[in-house]
């Protein structure tokens, strides 16, 4: 028996699915206010709309689904054409005078990976932040105008997250006033830098400065690697692309080996250090500033964790609002929407809460990073240690959670999500390296632990910790008195949820510190061999609490005008907390904060929130107003067209250009016909 389905959408006929229209009618808040927020501000969203108009009106810039079947070479060439076209349209606006910031046109309108994204961020930022005034005046305009194309060459074959272990050498030759760049071992080969293999003519090389027989540690050097005229490698380098990867295949990641390549002494970036004609090295500021550019990279990864997760939710939630499966609704032969299954909402509801929580966190983080960059000009490094802690922890936790969520959203869309046409596989594959970029996520958690331990030591000495670590004062009050809950309304109080998450973090931190203080071993042994696995859960609990704090405080401090929007925010904030407490609550039982029956009430509260949020899922998720021209999805488009376009794109697939596949007639047909 055939079930009658509501009218589905059609991109071709410009018809929106009835189910999607019905979902949109539940909008009860100022969606534009939320849109501006999820895009990182009203100005960012206006810029995005401008970029979209340019893209949609230009045949070269226009995105199309054929991209999903492109080879690596075709993806790179396709996006090189887009870079050239944007340069032709307005080179002054989009290149020469463009301020990189945290929301770049080339990351948000390209299908696939921008071929020069790292040039425009990491390479240009190095010149801008680490060069002295003379160097900056000489190089910055060349880099922004694409006359100097650069990459950020820090990672080596044998050293990634361990920057201090970099082996590449830069030896000063006093006789010629030059610096000689060398790759002394196979593990010193620069390996992974984006844009290096084929596309750039300069590299920002991080290498050990050796002068007058002394090693002064890792410094940045501007190194020309290809000829300006013919783009051929200069003498003294061996260079190429590293090959195909799990994802991110539209990016040219390369390797380079240096063999006595000479550069002028003045090509060492000298805002924070200096090498004079006699080879004397002088520090002019905090040497940690040399790695401040990595902070920019981490901030951007944290930023895109929210955006990327929300992007996947936009596709998945639209599909789940239109796709119906199994006629199991009481008194109705109509099949049930995927989004109406509690199990589906148990995935998507918390994912939306995490996406919005990450957005509140990165909003505060960007403000802190801007303040740091402004201070660097005057050698003010006041927030550097704290920002290193935050970006290390948040980058690790946010990218891991977002990647896992994108994968689960893809799985929840069944076979339709597994198809490249859905856009989810490419999103997942291109997001995948974010868990490794700018530091392995486990190492990042270990680095974030240092400042936690430092502030715990202050608390144990009776001193005040930094305000960011105020929750560590709870350590003094553990174990806590029993907190018995009697109703769901109690568990939904934000103050209670704040205390629960803060207590969970404080208990895990105290648990680790007690082990650390009583274990008889060297610090190295304790942190790397004996107690290493205890570090990770304590840092994650700390990050999840401070993220909740950003969320809770940000609802009131960001000046939102729409009361209904703030109501939705509070519910999502509650959902974030309850999901966290559902997944990890053992510590709260151990310290006495939870008692028998607590989780039963938390479960009831979580289910109640899912019911309250369910009618508003489409209006909330669609606040990320990514047009179909950028989304390019057979199941997540704005029409709710989940069948017609999917079939049309399948019919037009490359393999269907002929009735058989190459090799079949020659290799298999003879077997079928008994001729072999």
- 241 confidence band (pLDDT: 50, 70, 90): very high
Q: Which two tokens stand for residue 349?
A: 């509801």
Q: How many CB atoms lie within 10 A of CB 227?
A: 12
| Rounded CA separation 309/353 (Å) | 11
Burial of 292 (0-12, 13-18, 19+ CB in 10 A): buried
Q: What is the pTM of this model?
A: 0.94
Does 243 appear as a known binding residue?
Answer: no
| Rounded CA separation 632/64 (Å) | 7
Angle at 593 between CA 598 and CA 547, to 5 degrees: 90
Q: Which of 349, 316, 313, 357 is nearest to 609 (CA)?
A: 349
Alpha carbon 2 to its chain centroid, in Å, reads 44
Residues taking part in catalysis:
438
- All structural domains of the chain with their residue ranges: 39-115, 147-284, 294-621
What pLDDT, in 10s, does the model give residues 372-422?
A: 888 876 777 778 899 999 999 999 999 999 999 999 999 999 999 999 999
| Rounded CA separation 478/338 (Å) | 44
- pLDDT at residue 323 is higher than 70: yes
What pLDDT, in 10s, does the model give residues 429-481?
A: 999 999 998 889 999 999 999 999 999 999 999 999 999 999 999 998 887 76
Q: Which two tokens stand for residue 505?
A: 């973090």
- 329 confidence band (pLDDT: 50, 70, 90): low
% of the chain at pLDDT higher than 90: 83
Burial of 598 (0-12, 13-18, 19+ CB in 10 A): buried
Q: What is the mean pLDDT of residues 150-170?
A: 92
- 331 confidence band (pLDDT: 50, 70, 90): low
pLDDT on residue 1: 44
Alpha carbon 573 to its chain centroid, in Å, reads 21
Alpha carbon 676 to its chain centroid, in Å, reads 54
Q: For residues 513-545, b (16+ Cβ closer than 10 Å) or e, as one string?
A: beebeeeeeeeeebbeebbeebbbbbbbbbbbb
pLDDT on residue 291: 67
Q: What is the mean pLDDT of residues 94-112?
A: 81
The 3-state secondary structure of 471-490 reads: HHHHHHHCCCCCCCCCCHHH
| Rounded CA separation 390/396 (Å) | 10
What pLDDT, in 10s, does the model give residues 641-672?
A: 999 999 999 999 999 999 999 999 999 999 99
Q: Which of 389, 592, 394, 570 is nearest to 500 (CA)?
A: 592
- The owner of tokens 């809770």 is 552
Query: What are the angstrom distances between the C-alpha of 640 and each of 3, 260, 315, 418, 424?
Result: 19, 60, 10, 18, 16
Coil vs helix vs strand at 512: helix
The secondary structure element, H or E, covering residue 578 is helix 563-583
Average pLDDT, the chain: 93
Q: Which CATH architecture has domain 147-284?
A: Beta Barrel (2.40)
Q: In the Cβ-directed half-sphere of 46, how many Cα atoms lie within 13 Å? A: 3
CATH code given to domain 294-621: 1.20.140.10
Rounded to the nearest 10°, the torsion over CA 613, 616, 617, 622 is -150
CB 473 within 8 A of CB 465: yes
DSSP 426-458: HHHHHHGGGGTTTS-HHHHHHHHHHHHHHHHHH
pLDDT on residue 481: 63
Alpha carbon 244 to its chain centroid, in Å, reads 21
Q: What is the mean pLDDT of residues 586-592?
A: 93
The secondary structure element, H or E, covering residue 208 is strand 202-211
Does 165 appear as a known binding residue?
Answer: no
3-state DSSP: the chain helix, strand, coil percent, rounded to 5? 60, 10, 30
Q: Which of 438, 473, 463, 448 is nearest to 544 (CA)?
A: 448
What pLDDT, in 10s, does the model give residues 493-520?
A: 999 999 999 999 999 999 999 999 999 9
- pLDDT at residue 283 is higher than 60: yes
Crossing angle (nearest 10°) for helices 532-557 and 384-412:
90
Q: What are phi and psi of 417, to 5 degrees?
A: -75, -25
Burial of 611 (0-12, 13-18, 19+ CB in 10 A): exposed
- pLDDT at residue 3 is higher than 70: no
pLDDT on residue 36: 97
Q: Is 669 left (phi over 0), alpha (psi -120 to 50) or beta?
A: alpha
What pLDDT, in 10s, does the model give residues 562-572?
A: 999 999 999 99
């Amino acid at each position: 028996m055939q079930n009658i389905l509501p009218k589905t959408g059609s991109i071709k006929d410009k018809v929106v699915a009835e189910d999607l229209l019905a979902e949109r009618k539940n909008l009860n808040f100022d969606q534009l206010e939320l849109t501006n927020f999820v895009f990182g501000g009203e100005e960012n969203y206006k810029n995005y709309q401008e970029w979209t108009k340019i893209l949609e009106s230009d045949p070269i810039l226009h995105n199309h689904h054929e991209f999903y079947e492109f080879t690596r070479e075709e993806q790179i060439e396709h996006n090189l054409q887009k870079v050239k076209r944007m340069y032709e349209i307005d080179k002054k606006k989009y290149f020469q005078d463009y301020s990189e910031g945290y929301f770049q046109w080339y990351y948000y309108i390209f299908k696939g990976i921008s071929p020069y994204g790292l040039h425009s961020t990491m390479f240009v930022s190095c010149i801008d932040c680490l060069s002295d005034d003379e160097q900056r005046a000489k190089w910055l305009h060349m880099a922004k105008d694409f006359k100097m194309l650069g990459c950020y060459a820090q990672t080596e074959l044998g050293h990634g997250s361990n920057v201090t272990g970099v082996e590449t050498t830069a030896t000063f030759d006093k006789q010629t006033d030059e610096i000689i760049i060398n790759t002394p071992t196979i593990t010193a080969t620069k390996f992974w830098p984006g844009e290096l293999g084929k596309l750039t003519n300069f590299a920002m090389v991080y290498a050990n400065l050796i002068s007058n027989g002394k090693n002064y540690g890792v410094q940045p050097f501007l190194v020309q690697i290809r000829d300006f005229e013919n783009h051929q490698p200069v003498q003294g380098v061996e260079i190429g692309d590293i090959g195909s990867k799990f994802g991110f295949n539209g990016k040219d990641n390369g390797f380079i080996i240096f063999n006595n390549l000479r550069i002028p002494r003045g090509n060492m970036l000298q805002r924070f250090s200096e090498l004079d004609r006699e080879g004397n090295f002088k520090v002019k500021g905090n040497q940690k500033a040399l790695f401040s550019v990595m902070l920019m990279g981490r901030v951007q990864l944290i930023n895109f964790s929210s955006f990327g997760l929300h992007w996947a939710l936009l596709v998945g939630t639209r599909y789940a609002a239109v796709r119906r499966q199994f006629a199991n609704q009481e008194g109705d032969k109509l099949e049930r929407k995927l989004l109406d299954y509690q199990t589906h909402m148990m995935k998507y509801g918390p994912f939306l809460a995490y996406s919005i929580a990450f957005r509140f966190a990165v909003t505060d983080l960007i403000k802190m990073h801007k303040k740091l960059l402004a201070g660097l000009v005057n050698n003010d490094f006041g927030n550097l240690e704290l920002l290193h802690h935050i970006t290390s922890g948040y980058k690790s936790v946010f990218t891991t959670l977002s990647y896992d969520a994108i994968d689960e959203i893809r799985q929840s869309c069944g076979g339709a999500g597994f198809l490249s046409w859905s856009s989810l596989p490419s999103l997942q594959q291109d997001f995948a390296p974010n868990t490794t970029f700018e530091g392995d996520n486990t190492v990042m958690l270990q680095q974030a632990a240092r400042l936690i331990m430092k502030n715990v030591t202050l608390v144990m000495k009776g001193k005040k910790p930094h305000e960011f670590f105020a929750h560590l004062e709870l350590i003094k009050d553990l174990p806590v008195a029993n907190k018995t809950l009697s109703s769901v309304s109690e568990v939904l109080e934000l103050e209670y949820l704040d205390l629960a998450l803060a207590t969970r973090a404080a208990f895990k931190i105290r648990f680790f510190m007690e082990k650390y203080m009583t274990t008889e071993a060297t610090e190295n042994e304790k942190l790397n061999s004996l107690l290493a696995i205890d570090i990770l859960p304590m840092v994650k609990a700390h990050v999840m609490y401070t993220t909740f704090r950003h969320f809770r405080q940000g609802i009131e401090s960001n000046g939102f005008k729409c009361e209904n929007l703030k109501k939705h925010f509070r519910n999502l904030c509650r959902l974030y907390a309850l999901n966290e407490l559902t997944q990890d609550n053992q510590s709260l039982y151990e310290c006495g904060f939870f008692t028998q029956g607590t989780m039963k009430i938390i479960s009831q509260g979580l289910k109640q929130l899912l019911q309250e949020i369910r009618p508003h899922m489409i209006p909330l998720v669609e606040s990320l107003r990514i047009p179909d021209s950028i989304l390019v999805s057979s199941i997540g488009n704005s029409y709710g067209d989940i069948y017609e376009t999917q079939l049309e794109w399948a019919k037009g697939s490359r393999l269907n250009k002929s009735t058989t596949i190459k090799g079949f007639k020659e290799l298999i047909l003879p077997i079928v016909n008994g001729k072999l």
